[in-house]
Structure 1
């Protein structure tokens, strides 16, 4: 009797286990497949990393954040962002950001964005100056030079030198690197460009000046000779008039 009861319990346990397995398999088959990852969003990446509230606010004010997201999802070149944390912005002189116009804020943020994807290993093969989204990379505009020393990556703007602290994000399309300082471009924070040197005087101009100088004395001499001739004629007329008057006295 006991043996029969144990057999029933064992059979019941097998049935329960079989039902559990079937239920799990059916549930898995009915569960929706995971969808593709959503579009890359620079703001969400920085929010997840933390300590980038000032940069996020600038991305929102200038709409550069939306521009980055649009370019990432419509271009195959990828992008690279140098992200200064909040303490880097705090180290700027008081009122620095508030003193900038909307256009200058846009240029400052664009200066931190490279329109191509750059991996850590690629920093060693870049040519300077590196072109940023701010545009003109010539001196006194938006030059950005990158040098490497071992695994360290240094960035120089002509106004400030910064270092890449660490990689925040990289997916082969977008690379985000934390930098220890705000990248200040020459165009906004550097000294004014030196005034252009005057154009050298051409050989024709020098010859013309020399000819003018050589003609001036001749003109003065001609004027003097003309004046002397007038005085001489006046004296001759006076003498002739006196002689005629003297002769007439003897005939009257």
Structure 2
């Protein structure tokens, strides 16, 4: 009997420390809300993007929608170098509304893993899209490499910062410039040249039948003939009177 009791005691002595440690181990903390800023700050090269998200007030908007969406979100995160490589004034020249559109263009109202982009149907709507569907993105795949295109720039997707539903965040080395803001502008119609009207000149000379101006030489001849005819008539009339009186 003593031989049987000894192994049981040894087993109990072995289990007591394990049970004590199990009681002291903290329960896993419930997962809190997703911190988009924390994800970007962990990447340490998204200062300008975070600034734009805050400036346009879209960070809080997306953050709050994550708690209620059943589709999830996908964020394309351009690095600080991506913004610095833009032409001078490309961002500062945008209006407040256009900055909001630019940020929303980098967010899709659906969660996409990298493998989802291999079979996605183009164009993919973004948060900037309206009901008719512009402001879309296009994805192409070559093997396992996925490229995203805005129509102005094309960039490979290589580095997922987060890839877990309901949020995926992918690093981009270029800013996705939408054609609606940065595409070629349609040439503005140049105003039709004003027709140069030559002012009509009022003829200073008299006109003859048919509207043609009478030649100046003809007018002078007619005037001289009239004067000569009148003088001859006066002389002739005087001679006749003298003959009668004689």
- TM-score normalised to the size of structure 2? 0.65
1:154: which partner in 2?
147
Structure of higher CA gyration radius: 2
Among 156, 168, 173, the residue aligned to 1:180: 173
CA deviation vs aligned residue, 1:56-112 (integer Å, no higher than 9, x gap):
111111121112211211112111011111111110012221111111111000000
- The offset of 1:26, in angstroms, is 4.4
CA distance in 2, matches of 1:23, 1:114: 52
- 1:92 paired with 2:86, answer yes
How do 1:21-40 and structure 2 match up within 5 A? 25-26=19-20, 28-30=22-24, 32-40=26-34
Among 122, 126, 134, the residue aligned to 1:132: 126
- The offset of 1:144, in angstroms, is 1.6
Q: Is the 8 A contact 1:167 1:177 kept in 2?
A: yes
Q: Which runs of 5+ in 2 are unaligned?
A: 1-12, 189-246
- The offset of 1:32, in angstroms, is 4.2
Change over 3 Å in CA distance of 1:137–1:168 after alignment to 2: farther
Count of residues paired in the alignment: 180
CA distance in 2, matches of 1:112, 1:137: 17
- 1:57 paired with 2:51, answer yes
How do 1:1-252 and structure 2 match up within 5 A? 25-26=19-20, 28-30=22-24, 32-136=26-130, 141-193=134-186
- The offset of 1:27, in angstroms, is 6.4
Q: Secondary structure at the match of 1:120?
A: coil
Q: Secondary structure at the match of 1:74?
A: coil
Q: Secondary structure at the match of 1:154?
A: strand
CA distance in 1, matches of 2:187, 2:178: 17
- The offset of 1:143, in angstroms, is 3.1
